[in-house]
Each structure stands twice: as C-alpha cells, then as structure tokens.
Amino acid sequence: MRMKQLGAMPVDLLVWGSSWYGAKPDPQLSPAARLWAAGNEFYGTAPEGDPVTERMFFKEVPTDATLARLSRALDDLRRLGEIDLRLNHPGQLKP
C-alpha cells in the first residue's frame, strides 16, 4: 500500500489507529515529509501459513511529540462534532 508524497513544502503525516490486512504501508515520502505513527496494526499470513500480527510496523515509535499531535487532532475532531451538532441538530447538546 503506497503512501506517496512529493514536494518541498514541509508536511507531517500522522497515521493512527489503522488496521492493515495482507498489506503493509510503503511510505514514499520526500525529505520534507515527516511520518508519525501510533496504534497501527498489520494482520496477515506468514509464508509458512502462521498468522502474524505486528504492532508498529512503521520505523517511528510513538514519542511524546507524536502523542501530542494525536491529542490535538482528536481535540479538533471533538470540536468539529460539537459544531456539527449545534448546526445540524439543534437542541441535542446539553448545556
């Protein structure tokens, strides 16, 4: 599974909470990109037929910086959900 990025502008790619079956990601990133990963799993079958589970198949190991980025991303999603409820479902949020 290719993840391809081109360009010179700095970019952070955060991959989290993914389950991959029978394929591992193949990040093809420019030097301007940084890959952060947390909580991903790969499920597949080894050549001899034994089930294989690999946690953290990316080279990066979650650091405090990765977890801080993930926390901010989840905060953004929470805020987006609150806005959606206010705009599209008035009266559903308790004060």
CA dihedral over 44, 60, 67, 31, signed as positive or negative: negative
User: Residue 37 above 80 pLDDT?
Assistant: no
The residue written with tokens 């929470």 in the block is 78
* Cβ proximity of 42 and 24 under 8 Å: yes
DSSP code for 60: P
**pLDDT tens per residue across span 39-93:** 777 777 555 555 444 444 455 567 788 788 889 888 999 999 999 998 998 887 7
Give dist(CA 88, CA 72) in Å, integer: 24
The CA dihedral of 38, 43, 48, 49, to the nearest 10 degrees, is 160
Element (H, E) at 10: none
